Amino acid sequence: MFHHALPNKTVIIGAGGHAKVIADILRHDPHVELIGCIGPDPSATVLGLTVLGGDELLPGLHKQGIRHAFVAIGNNARRHALAKHAESLGFELVNAISPRAYLASGVTLGAGVAVMPGCVIQPDTRIGSYSIINTGATVDHDGNIGMACHIAPGCHLSGNVTVGDESFLGTGTSVIDGMQIGEGCMIGAGAAVIRPIPSYSLAVGVPAVVKRTLA
């Protein structure tokens, strides 16, 4: 006899466009009951969800028995910091995995990961906590995506690609097999990465060239 546990009451931290996509995904998850969003404008709604108020509400929500959260903030550094803050308050961060994404066998995910519709993640790929694999992006076999990365819509990473923590790959970035992109990088939209990119670099173009260091 199977007992179905009640869905986890979950708050979305964030109330912008990214939160809208996350809310849509989590609504398909029978383990999640969305109770509202955290954001600066309490008069706003996100796909019909109430914006409860600012981050200062989180400790009280936890005391009320809301134990699960998802940090839906686009900015990598801010998302990373807020996720750590939520975890320090005792929240467990859920994953938002679209039922329209394909995750192959041997894929491992951290906590608070978003995988949007149309994504393909191939075998033995690791996606670090708080990372976003955005609409229609693909990560081929043996990929290693760090923590709090954002792989934007339509990016295509070939096999054995490593991306360091908090790096952002702009819309439509292509990365050839075996490349390493360091941490804290920003890769411009449409770039083609055919050489390794050192940490804290802004790289743009086809092929991608480092333009400057991000201090």
List Cα–Cα distances, 168 to 30, 68, 164, 177, 183, in angstroms.
Answer: 31, 26, 9, 18, 9
Q: For residues 15 and 5, give the distance between their C-alpha atoms in angstroms, rounded to a whole number.
A: 28
Percentage of the residues of the chain whose pLDDT score is greater than 70: 98
| The pairing of beta strand 8-13 with beta strand 32-38 | parallel
Q: Is domain 8-94 in CATH 3.50.50.60, yes or no?
A: no
Question: Which pLDDT belongs to residue 3?
Answer: 53
CATH 2.160.10.10 location in the chain: 97-206
Across the beta sheet with 144-145, the strand order is 108-109, 126-127, 144-145, 162-163, 180-181
Nearest to 138 by CA among 181, 93, 101, 167: 101
pLDDT digits (tens, 9 = 90+) for 13-63: 999 999 999 999 999 999 999 999 999 998 999 999 999 999 999 999 999
pLDDT digits (tens, 9 = 90+) for 56-65: 999 999 999 9
Residue 149 Cα to chain centre, angstroms: 7
Q: Is domain 97-206 in CATH 2.160.10.10, yes or no?
A: yes
**Rounded to 5 degrees, what are φ and ψ at 121?**
-125, 120
Question: Which pLDDT belongs to residue 173?
Answer: 98
Question: Which pLDDT belongs to residue 128?
Answer: 98
Question: Which pLDDT belongs to residue 67?
Answer: 97
Q: What is the pTM of this model?
A: 0.95
CATH 3.40.50.20 location in the chain: 8-94
